A and B are shown apart, each in its own frame.
Chain A
Amino acid sequence: MRNAIIKSPSDLAALRDAIRTQASTYKFTVYICGGAGCVSSRCDKVAEALRAAVDSAGLSNDVRLVVTGCIGLCAHGPCMVVDPDGVFYGDLTPEKAWSIADRHLRGGELVQELCYFDTDRGEYLPYMKDIGFFSEQVKIALRNCGRVDFSSLEDVVAHDGYFALAKVLTDLGRERTAQELIDAGLRGRGGAGFPTGVKWQSGMNQPGDQKYIICNADEGDPGAFMDRSVLEGDPHSVIEALAIGGYVIGANKGYVYVRAEYPLAVDRLGKALDDARAAGLLGSDILGAGFDFDIEIRIGAGAFVCGEETALINSIEGKRGEPRQKPPFPFQSGLWGCPTIINNVETLANVPAIILNGAGWFASYGVGKSRGTKVFALAGDIVNSGIIEIPMGMTLRTIIFGMGGGMKGGRAFKAVQSGGPSGGCLTVAHLDVSVDYESLSAMGAIMGSGGLIAMDENTCLVDTARFFMEFVQDESCGHCVPCRSGTKRMLELLLKITSGRGAPEDLEELQELAVIVGQTAMCGLGQTAPNPVLTTLRYFKDEYLAHVVDKQCPAHVCKALRIYAIDPDKCRGCAACAAKCPAGAISGVIRQPHSINTDKCVKCGVCSDACKFDAVVC
């Protein structure tokens, strides 16, 4: 079966049937998460232990072990799912793996204490269908993540991999494929939300002997890791979709531009490309349909702006990743001046599923002009951090509290940041708004790539705005003045405010600058860079005012605005703080509670670090 060469759709079907028959002989299938998060929690040791345990119990003919892409619940990694019943085990160790092999796989009993514990309900929930994090999900882009052995082309084919390509090549043809995507309502998942089918149509209708299709895998938004999950967990879907796109627009060459920060994704994609090539699914005369296509990986070199499509094109050409003026748009003149179509990873991952299941099926999910599902990365102060895919139109409340399990440590929810440095911060008041392209834009945030960072009451939103401005300032390529200088001036104002030197008129200036930069910057990076500032000014004005008027940081985050004091009940009078204080602001008698002279205090925090009794409060 290994290294089978697939020359026609019937070869593909024969391979699928053979692998499926083989897989159906097992009593249990164990899916072990091999996503990057679980890899860092040493899932390899767990998989090794489980394999050894299964072998030593003589169960190798009953149990099929599959190392898959991301299952999603990073907070409980390393994790695994046992089918046929969909039992979820999390926080695994090699010892726990032995115990699951013995009791569940050999003995047929649930190992309850290793299952997911729902703190709200106070009970163990063994089945995925009962766990809120999983039960609300609809997996389309992530359909294979957590279900398929990403390293095995055979297993991918057994899960309908490359059947969409076969359908397009032998049945649908170019026009109907593009139309199918338009009817499905698929829009770009990288942020802008442009209709994918329309983009492909433009590429198809553009004259040119040489065209290119590019997968944008330069997932730079901090807080977003869904593209990484797809590339690492289901690289063949991306390859298949690129081949489909190449066929539709008339390109025989594709590129995947991956950021250098994702070495695991590069490895797995590279192997998948080799396997696809060896099987004849890339190269010349693919599936006997007379279509030639191949893909090359290009690795970025650490520049956020390269996620912008024209900057990305420059980077593939080996140049500085500065954006180009649009028009001409890439579909008219892109890579080396040729018509080029660029799609994001998640967008592409949806394509094969739409082709196989139909536009109507995809469009049955979602609301308004936002059809289908969206993958979100849940992170920050949230209990169930990880990757989820939900039908568009769900509320933030369901996502954060239903699936995400609320805030860690029972602290109060304060804000959620959507869309990375181009997005905005939303408040409690927005929790019941539907999550779709239009609703999020109306609130000043954007869908963006789908990073959702939940923040609790200990977060200062002025400091968060400063954090994002520092990010874009650092990553601004410097090509246009509004972005290069405008973000610098905005950062200076934010630093002034967070260091306690701000005045109320600074807020007006900040607002004015933000609007100007947004309207005049050349590319998407600069145009959206003010969003975190604009949304925080809009929804957290009180917090800004506290900084500039009362000179206080209500969340006690901004160091310069803290007022340090010593709790007399906790202070033992050891004078460790007084000895370290660079300003001589602490006085007191040995073995008696000390005190801080706030006039002398320079708010450096050294006393707090020096105190062994947590007596310094701020």
Chain B
Amino acid sequence: MKTTVNHVSGCTGTEEELLQRVRQLASGYKDKEGSLIQVLHMVQSVYGYLPLTVQQIVAEELGLPLSTVAGVVSFYSFFATTPRGRHTIRVCMGTACYVRGGVSIVESLEKQLGIQAGGTTADGVFTFEIARCIGSCGLAPAMTIDDTVYPEVKAADLPSILEPWYCGGK
């Protein structure tokens, strides 16, 4: 029986299948100068995150030193080196959201999810992060779950916002 890998935010498949897809993806960009960041975006969407084994494959396929790949992965906040949850919650803490009470949203979520910002819930459903302005300042405080934006969030709304995501959808 094939075991499905538990990187919930990526595609489904066996470890070998996923790594093979990563290799295929990266090899298509071998001679395209400057494509490392775009490749990492794609690879992360396939594998879910970018552990060292994945970085190594990308480095080999693009003909780059591993240190260059690791340097880029660690520089940008969108790249994760630990497994991520199926959905990503980003609470905006840009100036407008901060002024309009974003802190209380963060505190309530930390309580409800039982994790600190930056963490992933034990059931693998949510990764919870702080965002540096998502550009919804006119509707502060705002948060996103994946690509869905929730405007003018109140701490009391959080349970009803989170609930549908546990069943996989919006």
Contacts of B148 in A (CB 8 A): 40
B140 within 8 A of A: yes
A298, A379, A385: the one contacting B38 at CB < 8 Å is A298
Say how far A353's CB is from chain B's closest CB, in angstroms. Answer: 23
A280 within 8 A of B: no
On chain B, the number of residues with a Cβ less than 8 Å from chain A's Cβ atoms is 40
A136 within 8 A of B: no
B34 within 8 A of A: yes
Contacts of B138 in A (CB 8 A): 37, 74-75, 77, 225, 377-379, 385-387
Contact B76 A301 (CB under 8 A): yes
A41 within 8 A of B: yes
Contact B95 A222 (CB under 8 A): yes
* A223 and B136 alpha carbons, distance in the complex (Å): 8
Contacts of A117 in B (CB 8 A): none
* A222 and B93 alpha carbons, distance in the complex (Å): 8
- Identify which of A106-114, A169-177, A315-323, A430-438 touches chain B: A315-323
A380 within 8 A of B: yes
- Identify which of B5-13, B126-134, B161-169 touches chain A: B126-134
B37 within 8 A of A: yes
Task: Using known A-B contacts A40-B150, A381-B100, determine if residue A219 contacts B33 with beta carbons closer than 8 Å.
Answer: no
Contact B131 A261 (CB under 8 A): yes
Contact B133 A221 (CB under 8 A): yes
A336 within 8 A of B: yes
Contact B40 A301 (CB under 8 A): yes
A237 within 8 A of B: no
Contact B36 A318 (CB under 8 A): yes
Contact B140 A262 (CB under 8 A): no
Chain B 149-167 per-residue mask, 1 if CB under 8 angstroms from chain A, else 0: 1110000000000000000
Task: Using known A-B contacts A379-B96, A380-B95, determine if residue A301 contacts B135 with beta carbons closer than 8 Å.
Answer: no
Task: Closest B residue to A42 by CB, please name it.
Answer: B151
Contacts of B135 in A (CB 8 A): 36, 219, 224-225, 228, 261-262
Contacts of A474 in B (CB 8 A): 132
A618 within 8 A of B: no
Contacts of A385 in B (CB 8 A): 96, 137-140
Contacts of B132 in A (CB 8 A): 220, 222, 302, 304, 471, 474-475
* A74 and B137 alpha carbons, distance in the complex (Å): 9
- Identify which of A159-167, A394-402, A451-459 touches chain B: A451-459
B75, B134, B139: the one contacting A320 at CB < 8 Å is B75
Our count of residue pairs bridging A and B at CB distance below 8 angstroms stands at 146
* A474 and B132 alpha carbons, distance in the complex (Å): 10
Most buried by A among B131, B139, B142, B147: B139
* A222 and B142 alpha carbons, distance in the complex (Å): 12
Contact A321 B139 (CB under 8 A): no
Contact A37 B96 (CB under 8 A): no
Contacts of A317 in B (CB 8 A): 33-34
Most buried by A among B76, B133, B147: B133
Most buried by A among B33, B35, B96, B135: B135
Contacts of A36 in B (CB 8 A): 135-136, 149
Contact A261 B134 (CB under 8 A): yes
Contact B149 A222 (CB under 8 A): no
Contacts of B34 in A (CB 8 A): 316-318, 336
Contacts of A477 in B (CB 8 A): 75
Chain B 48-87 per-residue mask, 1 if CB under 8 angstroms from chain A, else 0: 0000000000000000000010011001111100000000
Say how far A93's CB is from chain B's closest CB, in angstroms. Answer: 15
Contact A220 B133 (CB under 8 A): yes
* A300 and B77 alpha carbons, distance in the complex (Å): 10
Say how far B99's CB is from chain A's closest CB, in angstroms. Answer: 5
Q: A77-B151, A222-B137, A303-B75 are in contact. List 14 more A-B contacts (CB 8 A).
A: A37-B138, A39-B149, A41-B139, A74-B139, A222-B94, A222-B98, A260-B78, A264-B147, A300-B76, A302-B76, A318-B38, A320-B71, A380-B137, A453-B95
Which residues of A are at the interface with B, using a C-beta cutoff of 8 A? 36-37, 39-41, 74-75, 77, 219-225, 228, 260-264, 298-304, 315-322, 336, 377-381, 385-387, 417, 420, 451, 453, 455, 459, 464, 467-468, 471, 474-475, 477
Write 12 A-B pairs (CB below 8 A) sorted by A numbering.
Answer: A222-B93, A222-B137, A225-B136, A261-B131, A301-B37, A302-B76, A302-B77, A317-B33, A318-B33, A379-B95, A380-B137, A385-B138
